[in-house]
Amino acid sequence: MALAKITSITGRGLTVPGNDIDTDRIIPARFLKAVTFDGLGEGLFFDARKAIADAGRIHPLDDSRFHGAKILLSGANFGCGSSREHAPQAIQKFGFRAVIAESYAEIFFGNSTTMGLACVSADRADIARLAAAIEADPYLEITVDLVGREVRFGGQRIPLTMRDSARDALVHGRWDSIGELLDGREAVAATAARLPYLAAPQK
């Protein structure tokens, strides 16, 4: 089955502000005991959400104004700390399809790309402008355009950046290396059959 080409993501957004948001904050370690990634979305920012609720406030993920948001905004060095793949899995399972942040931890970025979760970067001032627009209108439609290298919202445009290799993989449907390998299983088998060191031993 061919992989989807991810050229743009359109939807509403929400902001989880802050720099150096690590993977333990994104998905606390106790949720890593799950056998599959199914249901991980329920644990997304679990401890932060509970702490805010205990203080009588509402975390953006629990704010009814932002239910159904597909685009997550945050700050610099997003996804730092542990290399757990569960972090981008939790973000995707919650319903997000793209993240806009100033920068990302290297392993988090790579894990996200191989899942088809688009992680794009923008300047701090531009992210703040977009966050303010979302706060003013939670139903604001946002488009993350990987082909045009821009984010569009409410008649405004801000430039985005993304590593060329990751952008190319998403845009051309080559973001899942295992999926590509499975798609080419016939070619792999044909090549293996021609290699003498893989041939069955003669009796």
The domains of the chain are located at: 8-174
- The pTM (predicted TM-score) of the whole model is 0.87
- Write out pLDDT tens, residues 28-83: 998 888 777 888 999 999 999 999 999 999 999 999 999 999 999 999 999 999 88
Q: Assign a CATH topology to domain 8-174.
A: Aconitase; domain 4 (3.20.19)
* Lowest-confidence segment of 16-20, 106-110, 191-195 by average pLDDT: 191-195
Question: Rounded distance, CA 87 to CA 40, Å?
Answer: 9
